[in-house]
Amino acid sequence: MTNKLDPWSSSEINDYSKLFEEFGISPFENVLPEIPSPHMYMRRRVIFGHRDYEQIAEAMRTGAPFSVMDGFMPSGKVHLGHKMVMDQIIWHQQKGASAFVGIADREAFSVRGFSWQKCREIGVEEYILSLIALGFKPDGLIYFQSGCGSVKDLAFELGVKVNFSELSAIYGFSGETNLSHMISVATQAADILQPQLEEFGGPKPVVVPVGPDQDPHLRLTRGLAGKMSMFRVEERENANGGKYLSVRSKGAPKEALQELKKQIPGKVKLYEEHLDIIQTPDYPFLERLVSQINQPEKKRYFTAELEEVSKFANEIKPYEFSGYEEYFVFRKVWKLTRKILDEIVAKVAAEFEGYAFIPPASTYHRFMSGLQGGKMSSSIPDSYIALTDDPKEGAKKVKRAKTGGCVTLEEQKKLGGKPDECSVFELLLFHLAENDDELLEIREECVCGTRMCGSCKQLAAEKMYEFLKDHQEKREQAREHLDEYNIIYKK
Ligand code: SF4
């Protein structure tokens, strides 16, 4: 069965692994070893996929600038599903990201028909208070789309590069779709690209943590990042199969291309609408590299490209740079050359009032299921726990939740339970058990039948009560400190 991704209905994703093939989402486990102290959702495989997260992991490791961005449509109660996204925003902010949170009131206005006033009330009372209570720091930006001039202007500019056929293909829009809904889509792409505007420090990697249903926005925005940029850096092959980098442009001023040629060190060939980089030296990097690679056992992956790089390195430095070093040497030189080039291209594009957006990265997390099994639904209060639920009521909901236990205690002792089909275990996994060892122990005891659902429910209900009580106290404190936060409201 084909997965259909629709950001406006809570469609169930029946097989996450299919997303890898159908939409080009990469498995998260591949990038996990590169992340310093990964978040609980990463360690526990709640986050299962990503696009381009390598660049975020690298920024975290090296201290390079990066951003995290996410949005919330002010449509109803803030619940544990929203908490998952907020947790990830806050974690990235703690890891050094500049954080941006958009309250998608344009979307709520166009899709739900909410008034601006209602959007503001829900935005503050539900989402912003909980975001701050969970630990969002005041140096991040929170804004209502309708009040943010830079997002609205950028959305309008992005609109030039999107047409109806494309929106139909991505979102299934029809002749019945209202124009404001389409504008709200461009606004969300602008939300995602905004952190890379000059006023926010220019191009940088941006990660957007989402559920897989939001992937259409990412696909659209990644395409727009390329279409809006003044230059496009491409890897190309020459007639001999050797690789080189080329900077392509459509309609960039001639002076901009000439300026690029001036700024790129190494051999550069300028054509009418593009330039090819034949060699780009990076001295300090090669210096470090040469000292690292004199290891004879790493001589088995000879490539023609590497020989080119080696030859080039020998020209610029008096080292004995062997042509038979490991393949990774070439990849590293290439990667770094590319990075330097991206920086120069971004600088020149800004000088000539053009964009140089890096396609946004994203992570994909599993959805929480409803407390009674099936989907969580905002119209069924028993299917989810709101962060504003009375703590006693929250605890009761846990006790009423569907478990993966057997019908009788005897059976459960004999056969064990099914934690993967258990809403209570899911609550512990996603939110309540901070300690991985504690969680593993619960799982093992469940599977081998030494743990009964009653004790599990009791534990989860107590934890839920404590969490909600504490969170709601923090929400009240957040209310007192709202004016210390950088929040842009609709005028
Ligand atoms: S013992 Fe715990 S984890 Fe296992 S099915 Fe029952 S409630 Fe779920």
pLDDT digits 0-9 by tens, 222-260: 999 999 999 988 888 777 666 678 899 878 899 999 998
- CATH label of the domain that carries residue 406: 1.10.240.10
Q: How many A from CA of 40 to the centre of ligand 1?
A: 20
CA distance 281 to 266: 6
Q: Of 301, 324, 352, which residue sits at a domain end?
A: 352
Q: Are residues 42 and 159 in the same domain?
A: yes
Q: What is the pLDDT of residue 294?
A: 47
State which of 352, 381, 401 marks the end of a domain.
352
- At residue 278, the pLDDT reads 67
**Sheet of 47-51: strands edge to edge?**
26-27, 47-51, 361-365, 206-210, 67-72, 98-103, 141-144, 486-488
Asked which of 352, 379, 414 is the last residue of a domain, the reply is 352
Q: Among 425, 429, 458, say which to mutate for ligand 1: greatest number of ligand atoms within 8 Å of CB.
A: 425
Place of tokens 């830079």: 150
- Distance from Cα 412 to the centre of ligand 1, integer Å: 10
Calculate the CA dihedral of residues 90, 95, 20, 70 and round it to 10 degrees.
Answer: 30
Gap from CA of 440 to ligand 1 centroid (Å): 12
Structural element, H or E, at residue 268: strand 267-270
> In this structure, what DSSP letter does residue 270 have?
E
Q: 463 and 399 in contact (C-beta within 8 Å)?
A: no
- Cα 253 versus chain centre, distance: 33
Residue 222: give its domain's CATH number.
3.40.50.620
User: Are 92 and 145 within one domain?
Assistant: yes
Question: Residue 491's pLDDT is what?
Answer: 79
Per-residue model confidence (pLDDT) at position 24: 80
Domain identity same for 253 and 290: yes
Q: Among 407, 446, 452, 457, which residue has the most ligand 1 atoms within 8 Å of its CB, making it the best to mutate?
A: 446
- From the CA of 195, how far away is ligand 1's center (Å)? 43
Whole-number pLDDT of residue 314: 57
Let me know if residue 88 belongs to a domain: yes
Q: Are residues 223 and 243 in the same domain?
A: no
> Are 362 and 345 part of one and the same domain?
no
In this predicted structure, what is the pLDDT of residue 267?
72
Q: Which residues line ligand 1 (CB under 6 A)?
A: 403-405, 417, 419, 422, 424-425, 442, 446, 451, 453, 456-457
- 420 shares its domain with 461: yes
Structural domain includes residue 7: no
Give the model's pLDDT for residue 460. Answer: 97
CA of 431 to the centre of ligand 1 (A): 16
**What's the structural domain count of the chain?**
3
Q: Could you tell me the residue range of the domain that residue 206 belongs to?
A: 12-229+358-367
Q: Which atom of ligand 1 is the closest one to the Cα of 423? A: 8
Q: Are residues 80 and 137 in the same domain?
A: yes
- Which atom of ligand 1 is found nearest the CA of 453? 6
Regarding whether 342 and 473 lie in a shared domain, the answer is no
> Are residue 162 and residue 60 in the same domain, yes or no?
yes
Per-residue pLDDT tens for 291-345? 554 444 444 443 444 555 566 555 544 444 444 444 445 555 666 677 778 888 9
Any domain includes 386: no
Whether 383 is in a domain gets the answer no
Examine the domain organization and report whether 310 and 446 are in the same domain. no
DSSP 194: G
Q: What's this model's pTM, rounded to 2 decimal places?
A: 0.85
Mutation pick for ligand 1 pocket among 398, 451, 459 (CB with most ligand atoms within 8 Å): 451
Position 490 in a domain: no
Considering the domain boundaries, does residue 376 fall inside one?
A: no
| Residues in the chain where the model's pLDDT stays below 50 | 1-12, 281, 283, 293-305, 316-328
Q: How confident is the model at residue 286, as a pLDDT? A: 53
Is 470 among the domain residues?
yes
If you measure from the C-alpha of residue 370 to the centroid of ligand 1, how many angstroms do you get, rounded to a whole number? 16
Looking at residue 89, its amino acid is I
Same domain, 347 and 419: no
Same domain, 331 and 422: no
Residue 78 C-alpha to ligand 1 middle, in angstroms? 26
CA 414–ligand 1 middle distance (angstroms): 14
Q: Which of 222, 225, 195 is nearest to 98 (CA)?
A: 195
In-domain check, residue 3? no
